[in-house]
Structures are given as structure tokens and as C-alpha cells.
Structure 1
Amino acid sequence: MPDGILGWILIGLVAGILGKLIMPGKDPGGIIVTILIGIAGALLAGFVAPSIGVDLSSTLSSYIAATIGAVVLLALYRLVMARRVR
């Protein structure tokens, strides 16, 4: 598990890029917003996963949790932005 918020931000950068690869397409905000969403997803995963009993003691599990968080937030972002554009 990364040490502190800086570690989760660094993992979030990777998770944002992985999220973009998992969910390709034209996003309203582009790659920068996707990376920021990845950071937010990583921070969210860092706080939520332990509270629901998910062990993030290994680096791999931290990256997986952060990527899942990024994909979830990216999907929510696309839903919200698609409704705003209409």
C-alpha cells in the first residue's frame, strides 16, 4: 500500500491511463481530465477499500483497486457529461 496521499496520487496517474485504455473513446475533458479522474479514483479506492474489508497490503492490489476506482469514476463522469451536453 502506498505511503500517504502522494503515493495514491502517483498510483492515480497510472490508474487514469489504464482507465483510459480500458474505456477508450472521446471524453469531454480529454486525457488530462482522465488522469485527474484516475487520481480521484485512486484516492477513493484508498479510503473505501479498507472500510469494506479489502486488503491493500500489496502493490498489485493497490493498483487494481485504483484502476477500478478510476474506471467507475470515468463511467460516472461520462454519464454526467453526456446528459449535460444534450
Structure 2
Amino acid sequence: MFTFIGTLIVGFVVGLIARALKPGDDRMGWIMTILLGVAGSLIAGYVGRALGWYGPGQPAGWIASVIGAIVVLVIYGMIARRR
């Protein structure tokens, strides 16, 4: 239970940092911010393991997670702009 709550808190912080660093107005609520941060961490972990930066089961670092969240924000902006 604590791991799930910890994941949500870390996702929220990572999402807030990514939204603050990326220029533009990304209108999303706190639930989408949490999902953004969690997705960024998952992407950073996957890429990091593929490149050999992280071992199996090792979580991604804060900086990599924020960069992953910014990538998710850019992709989300490109998709939302087409609508």
C-alpha cells in the first residue's frame, strides 16, 4: 500500500517539475499531473534499462524521470494540437 502511495507522490512531484520546466500552458489537473509523472518515470526506467544505466528492478532517477515526463508532455501536446 505504501509503495502505491509513494509512487503517486513521486509521480505528482515529477509531473509538477516537468510542467514547470516545459514552456507553454499545459492545462491539466492533478490526476493528469500524477499520471504524467508516473509515465515519465516508467519511460525513463525502460530506456535506462535498455541502455544499461539501470539494473533489473532498479527505479529511474529523478532527473531521468523528469526528462521522461517532459517527453510525454511534448507528445501529448502534439496529439492534443491535432484535435
With normalisation by structure 2, the TM-score equals: 0.72
Q: Is the contact made by 2:36 and 2:73 (CA closer than 8 Å) also made in structure 1?
A: yes
- Looking at structure 1, the residues matched to 12 and 76 of structure 2 have their Cα atoms a distance apart, in angstroms, of 17
| Gap runs ≥5 in structure 1 | none
- Partner SS for 1:54: coil
Structure 1 vs Structure 2: percent identity of aligned residues?
A: 37
Q: State how 1:21-60 maps to structure 2 within 5 Å.
A: 21-28=20-27, 30-32=28-30, 33-55=32-54
Q: Is the contact made by 2:11 and 2:33 (CA closer than 8 Å) also made in structure 1?
A: no
Q: Is the contact made by 1:14 and 1:38 (CA closer than 8 Å) also made in structure 2?
A: yes
Q: How many angstroms does 1:16 deviate by? A: 0.4
- Measured on the aligned residues, the alpha-carbon RMSD in Å equals 2.6
How many matched pairs? 77
- Looking at structure 1, the residues matched to 36 and 54 of structure 2 have their Cα atoms a distance apart, in angstroms, of 23
Answer 1 or 2: which has greater helix percent: 1
Q: Is the contact made by 1:9 and 1:43 (CA closer than 8 Å) also made in structure 2?
A: no
- Partner SS for 2:75: helix
With normalisation by structure 1, the TM-score equals: 0.69
Q: Is the contact made by 2:9 and 2:34 (CA closer than 8 Å) also made in structure 1?
A: no
